[in-house]
Amino acid sequence: MAKKIKKRDVDEELLDAILSLEKEWRHIESIVEMSIEPTQSGLERAKLAQAKYLFLLLEARHRRVSALRV
C-alpha cells in the first residue's frame, strides 16, 4: 500500500517551488536588464522563468495556499 500524500506537505512543496522560482526569475531578469545587448536566449529564459512562476502562483491561488498560513 502506498503512503498517502498529505495536502499540507504538497502545499509546502508548492510554496518552496514558488520562492525558488521567484528568486531565479528575478536573478535572470536582473542580468538581462544589466546587459548592454541581451541575447535572445537570455530573454527567453527570463520569460520562461516568469511563466513558471506565474503558473505556480495561480496553482497556489486555486489550492487556496497562503504563505502566511503555513
What is the model's pLDDT at position 62?
93
Q: Is residue 39 in a domain?
A: yes
User: What would the mean pLDDT of 7-25 be, rounded to a whole number?
Assistant: 92
Of all residues in the chain, the percent with pLDDT exceeding 90 is 67
Give the position of cell 502506498: 2
Q: Is residue 68 in a domain?
A: no
Q: Is residue 2 in a domain?
A: no
Domain that holds residue 38: 7-63
What is the model's pLDDT at position 52?
96
Instruction: Give the pLDDT confidence of 34-66 residue by residue, as tens digits.
Output: 999 989 999 999 999 999 999 999 999 999 988
Total domains in the chain come to 1
CB–CB of 38/32 below 8 Å? Answer: yes
CB–CB of 14/63 below 8 Å? Answer: yes
Judge whether residue 69 has pLDDT over 70. Answer: no
